[in-house]
Structure formats: structure tokens, C-alpha cells
Chains A and B, each alone.
Chain A
Amino acid sequence: MKRWIGMLLGVLALSFSAATFAAADIEINTPGVTALKQSLRARFQDLRPYMDSGAVGLTADGLLTVRDASSVPLAARQALNGLIAAQNGDRNALYKEIARANGHPEWEGEIRSIFAQRWIQRARPGWWVQSGGGWVQK
């Protein structure tokens, strides 16, 4: 009986948090979001060839990482590190800013998860995405 009550409470708690979170506006637009999206888009032009070649992959936590740098000229690998660090910095700031604009800074983690799923869903054929701890090619 106790177990059932526990499960019921668990389900209630889950649906409550889901219902609370459902109110988050992922598409919210603020000058911060606009600036970050512009910056992400501009830098993506430089990153795109590395995504296409498989040198860079999408992680399960909504970021980018070097997957296989072998195809990148040695002299460009450090610059690629810098590009990824900057893009990840902007992505982290975007998740934080959307949570802040929603009036719930504590939602940052959930917003990151939603974006992580979205980036992976929208990945182009041939790109590499992290799944279950390993890499999968779309």
C-alpha cells in the first residue's frame, strides 16, 4: 500500500513539475536572446564544414565537441577549439538567458535538455550526434 502511495505521489510530482515547466516560452525573444542567436548563427558558418566532415559532433547536453579532428589540418585544430569554446559559451548563455527571460532562472537545466533534443533532431544527415554515451551518424 505504501508503495502505491509513493508511486502515486511520484507521478503527481512529475506531472506537477511538467505542468509547471510547460509554461516556459522557449521562443521568447529578448535583446539577449537575439544577440546570442545572431552570434551563434554567424559562428555556425565557420563551424558548418567541421560538422559536415564529422570533425565536430553534437553532445547530449546541448553543446558541441571535437569528435574526430584527424581530417582538420593541424594548424586549424587550435582555432577549432576556440570556435567550439565560443559557440558553447554562447549556447550556455542562451539557455541561461531564456530561463531568466521566463522569470525562472532555475529552469536552465530543463531548457538546455529541450535545446539538446532540438539540436539533435534538426541535425543534418551525415552529422554526428551523441546518443547513449556513443556517437551516431544521422
Chain B
Amino acid sequence: MYPRIFTLLLLFAAMPLQAAQLTLSVGDISAPSFAARGVTLSLPLDGSAELRLDELSVAGRHWRKVRVHCAGFVLSTARLECRQAKLNAAPDLPFDFSYDFGTQRLALELSAGKDERWRVDGDFHDAGWRVNVQLRNAQARRLATLLPPEQPLPTQGLLNGMLQIRGDQDGLRRVQGAVQAAELAFSDAAGLHAADKLAGSVQFDAVRSRSRWDWHGALDWQRGELFWQPLYLKGAHSLTAAGSWDGGQLQVAQAELNRLGVGRVELSALWDTAKNSLLACDLHGSDLQLAPLFADYLKPFLVDSVLGAATLSGRGDADWQYRDGTTQALNLTLRDASLEDGQRRFALRGVNGTIPWRAAAATQAAVSFDSGALWGVPLGSSQLQLAMHGLEFSTPTATLPVVDGSLTVHDFSLQRGDGGWRWNFSGQLAPVSMPALSRALGWPEMSGALSGTIPQVSYDGREMRVGGALLFRVFDGTVVMTKLALADPFGPTPLLTGNLDMRELDLGQLTRTFAFGSMEGRIDVSVQDMALVNWQPVQFEAKVASSPGSYRKRISQKAVQNISALGGAGAAAAIQRSYLSFLQDFGYNRIGLSCVLRNGVCAMDGVSRKNGGYVIVEGGGIPAITVMGYNRAVGWNELLERLKRVLQDNTQVVIQ
């Protein structure tokens, strides 16, 4: 507080009489956190004064060409007074300043318009000094020049209230304040921390005894909006808190946060102000509304995760205990909660349960849900018991109703590894009827049932794999799936790979299901080296062939036409010209069609080669028909289009 004056030049310039003035030129003044260069005080003889500073630095802030003009200036042994003063940086805020050397009282009053007033009164007479600041309709934007420019700076709004600072020879002793804000707006340069139309009040009181401050305060944020990347919050928040600060650690002994529509959260915490880190925290919330809690405070941090498009609802209690840089305990109670994915990939409804998680102890969670869905497959009501030990979760057995069947899960385990969360289980699928499943998924209604043993399903943080073979029955035949893997299951382009072998499917059921035109017989379908990206095939080697054995083999004319249409131009030219076109169905010896899909092109073949083409339906019996294909390479999309036309509306099929 004692500026070291490097140079002091007093110039008494001989001026012409009509412009006589006294000019004090104080070169540079510097002190810790304070520096002024090129300081000049001019005192014209009309009673005014002008103070000029080429550069001014206070606490890291810098200003250039600062000028204060006092319309009335008095300097005597008793007092210093500057009336109707103007600062060039804030010409619209004239002020009066006075300091009484005897009483050591300071008064500064800034006012603008008829309403705005900033008043500072200082009394330094006693050992216990004090400064009072009163604000009346004070424009918050004026504080912007005083604050560090990298912080959010106020751009508008009015402040009313008071600030009282008391101190003694040891420094600050007590700071009290009560300020109301209206229509307050602030923003940082990038607009990532900003607020608009804030209304509310803040009160605080901090008292020092030796090196420790005890404080309490209250914040009532009534209206307005705040964006604090990535959070966006609206008013109706209130906070009361009390604690202490010893210069190194800030203790929040107790705090209570209320948010209208969410509930009340109580917390205590210990913050290391030097290291800027949380040392300990206890948080407790009862009967919280989960929908706004999740949407406003959690989801913004989860935009890149599986929960990025989810909504949560219901009610819940939470108890969180944080020590030594990590969560030590988390108790969650859910009451009638629901989790829904916006992209309809998963859902759980009517969730109830308690999850008493501990970082270093074994506990049990009990959770039940009324219904759910996974990739559109409906799940029924279930009750789950989960053993928890740190980041390892397991359950020996659980049964999930799936459509009208069920999945019994054995030895489920989930743990957090280096590559993220990993899990695995084995299971048993009790018959899920295909008609019900196809209805649930919006597919054409298929007959049969899905059942079988699932040797092992595992997820390594990136890819879901089914070990062994999945076996189930559809269309009176069997389906075996092997080497099934799904990479990036919840990503934008899931990749499904595997092999599929179907044996002895009933062609009658199959063709009725897909309105293809009636066929009788049995077929085997083999799809090897299959890859689906975003559920669309990108490669496979597929083969459809009549099953071995003896059974009735008939094909309707409509089916012949449709197969021909799939085969492309020229495939069924023979039918139209022959008398066979008058017959409704024919016998056949065998059927075969294969497609090797690579790079969007299907390389096609049939049961055998003949006359530059390939045989798709080899005739046999009476009357018999042979259907040929001639296009060996067909674009996959073109083939899909043909199939769609065939399945949608048979009358549109053009046979060339």
C-alpha cells in the first residue's frame, strides 16, 4: 500500500496568463499488483482538475489513456474533493469523490440517469475499518471492465443491494452482502458460458477468526436461463449453504439445493482450493423426479453414449459418498422408473428396486421391471437379483420373458475392464412363437417357433459374440446359426457377421408367408461368410437348394413367374409361348439358386448350367417345367427391387 515512486517531476510551467494552470507530472508509480505510467495532474485555475494516466495496471488488468476530469476540485489540508467527475472510459457515469484527511472517511458516489446509483463509503479512522457499497439499479455491464476478460462478462441487467466489508490491521475481518439481480445477462467470448434474463438474489456472510473463515449464504435463482456447457438450466433453483475456508480447503458443512419439479438434495463437501479438486462429498436426495433430473443434469454429459437419446422417468432416492478421488458408495432406489431409448433400441418400464453399491464390499441389488424391449423384441415382467462387488456384477440365474417365450440366463457376469464394460452369459430360449415374434417386429407372419440353447454370449466392450451354435425351428425346419458376432451394437452402423444353415424348410409355409406364389417341397438354405452393416447385407455366399429326400414337389405358375422375374430378362420366355402357360401348377425335380454377394453385386448360379444359362427349376414329373436364369451378375439393390415388386404386387411383374 506504499507505492514506490520512481520518478517524481514537478514542473511549474510558465503559462500565458489566459491559460494559466498547474501541471504535476508524476512519471511512474508502481507497487505489487499496481502500476501507473505517465501520470499527470493538471489544475487549471477555473477550479477543475484533470488526472491523466498513459497506462494503468491493477491486478493484472490493463487500461491505456485513462483520464479523470473533475469539474470541481478541492485539495486542502483537511480534504480532497472531486465533484462532477467523469472517467473517459465511462463518460455516462459521472461521480463525486471526497476524502477527509481528519476523519479518514471516503465517499464515492457514481450516478447516471435519475435511478442508477453506486455508493461507496469508507471509514478508516479506527483500527477496525469498514467499507460499505450500496447499489441502486446499478447496471451490471459496468463491472465488465473490472473483471478478467476471459471470464463470462455481464452485458446487461440491474443490481440492487449492499456489500459491507470490515477489517482491521490484519486485513479483512468480515464480508457481508445481499444483492438482487434483474434481467441479468452475461457471456464469455465463445458463448459457452452464458445467461440471459436472470432474476434472483444472493446473500452471504463470511467472518474471519485467525486464518479461518466461517461463512453461510443463500442463492435464490427465480427466473432466467443459463447455458454452462453442456448444461442448460432455467430458474426455480435455490441453494443455502454454510461452511468454512482455511485458505487451502473449502468445507461445505451443509448445503441444500432445491429445484422446483425435481426435489431437494442435501450435500456436504470438502474442496481443495489449491489443487482445485474435490476431496470428499456426501450427497443425499429423496423422492427426486427422475425425468428432469436425468434430462437437465445427466444427459448433457452422455450425448456420445448409449443413453444419449434416452429419457428416464419415475421417482428415486440417491445417496452418494465420494472419498479419496473415487465413489465409495452409491445407494439408488427406483420407484416406478422407466428408461426409453429415443431410437427404440431398448426400453425398460415399471422399474422398481434398490441398488446398494459399495466400492469395496459385496452387496446384493434387487431390481424388477414390468416390461421392456430390446431392438423391438418385447420383454415381459422380471425380477432380478444381482450380486455386486466393486465393478463386478453377477447373477447365477434369471428368467426374462421374451414375447410369449422366455430366455433363461445362466451365469451372467458384468465387469469393467480396460476396454470398457464386458459381460457374458449362457442361456436357454424356451419356445418363442414365430407368429408372435413376427407380429412384434412388424414382419410378415411366419410360422414355427424359436427355441434352443445359447452356449455363450459375450461382449468385450466392442463386439458381442455368440459362442457355439444357436439352433431353432421355423417353417417346420431347423435353423443353425454359428459364429454370430455383432460389432458396435449401439453405434450408427452395427456390423453383424456369421453363418446360417437352414434345413428342410417347408416351402408351402414359406411361400404362403411371403405371398410368393405357392410351392410345395422342402428346401435347404445356406448363408456362409455373412456380413450385415446397419442390418443390410454387404457380403455372403448364399445357396437355396431342394432338400434331399422324397416329398411332393409342385410349383405354381405364379411362383414360376416370380422366380423368373428374380432371374431377370429372358428367364421365362418359354412359358408364355408354350401351352404350359394354361396350367396352374407343375412338377419339378429340384430347385436351386445361389448368390455370392460382393461389392453390391450378386454372382448368381442355379442347380446346373445349360445353354449359356443356369437352371433354377429343373423340371420333373407331369407336367414339368424348367426355369432358366441368364443374368449371372445382378446388382444386389436391383435384386431387392425385383423381390420387393414380386412380394408387394404380383400383377406388376413384367416377364420379358
Contacts and interface: CB of A to CB of B under 8 A. Distances in A.
Interface of A: 29-32, 35-36, 39, 55, 66-72, 74-75, 77-78, 81-82, 85-86, 89-90, 93, 96-97, 100-101
A30 to B, nearest CB: 5
Size category of the B interface is 20 to 34
A31 B190 contact: no
Given A32-B493, A69-B190, A93-B493, A78 B232 contact: yes
16 contacts: A30-B538, A31-B536, A31-B537, A35-B492, A35-B493, A35-B533, A66-B190, A74-B226, A75-B232, A78-B232, A81-B300, A85-B303, A85-B304, A93-B492, A93-B493, A97-B493
A71 B196 CA distance: 13
B232 A70 contact: no
A127 B195 CA distance: 26
A68 B190 CA distance: 5
Given A31-B537, A32-B533, A32-B538, 8 more contacts: A66-B190, A66-B192, A70-B187, A77-B192, A78-B232, A81-B229, A89-B491, A101-B538
Contacts of A96: 493
A71 to B, nearest CB: 8
Contacts of A67: 190
B230 interface: yes
Q: Which of B189, B195, B538, B600 is packed against the most chain A CB atoms within 10 Å?
A: B538
Contact of A70 (B190, B495, B533): B190
Contacts of B600: 29-30
Given A75-B225, A77-B232, A35 B191 contact: no
A16 B188 CA distance: 49
Contacts of B303: 81-82, 85-86
A68 B536 contact: no
Contacts of A86: 303, 308
Interface in B236-267: none
**Across the A-B interface, the 10 shortest Cβ-Cβ residue pairs:** A31-B536, A69-B191, A32-B533, A70-B191, A78-B232, A85-B303, A32-B493, A93-B492, A35-B534, A74-B227
B428 to A, nearest CB: 33
A82 B229 CA distance: 12
Contacts of A66: 190-192
Given A74-B194, A78-B230, A85 B534 contact: no
Nearest to A72: B191
Contacts of B195: 74
A39 B229 CA distance: 26
B190 A74 contact: no
B232 A36 contact: no
A85 B187 CA distance: 23
A55 B308 CA distance: 22
Contacts of A70: 187, 189-191, 194
B536 A32 contact: yes
Q: Is the interface of A mostly helix, strand, loop or mixed?
A: helix
B534 A68 contact: no
B232 A74 contact: yes
A31 B191 CA distance: 39
A89 B536 contact: no
A67 B195 CA distance: 18
Contacts of A32: 493, 495, 533-534, 536, 538
Given A36-B492, A93-B492, A101-B538, A78 B191 contact: no
Contacts of A72: 191
A31 B534 contact: yes
A85 B308 contact: yes
Nearest to A39: B492
Interface in B284-335: 300, 303-304, 308
Contacts of A85: 303-304, 308
A78 B227 contact: yes
Given A30-B533, A77-B232, A78-B300, A69 B491 contact: no
A90 B492 contact: yes
B280 to A, nearest CB: 30
Nearest to A28: B599
A92 B300 CA distance: 20
B533 A74 contact: no
B304 A89 contact: yes
Contacts of A81: 229-230, 300, 303
A69 B187 CA distance: 10
Q: Which of B196, B230, B308, B493 is packed against the most chain A CB atoms within 10 Å?
A: B493
Contacts of A36: 492-493, 534
A55 B194 CA distance: 15
Contacts of B194: 69-70, 74, 77
A36 to B, nearest CB: 6
A97 B308 CA distance: 22
A92 to B, nearest CB: 9
Nearest to B225: A74
Contacts of B491: 89, 93
A85 to B, nearest CB: 4
Interface in B139-187: 187
A34 to B, nearest CB: 8
Contacts of B534: 31-32, 35-36
A74 B196 contact: yes
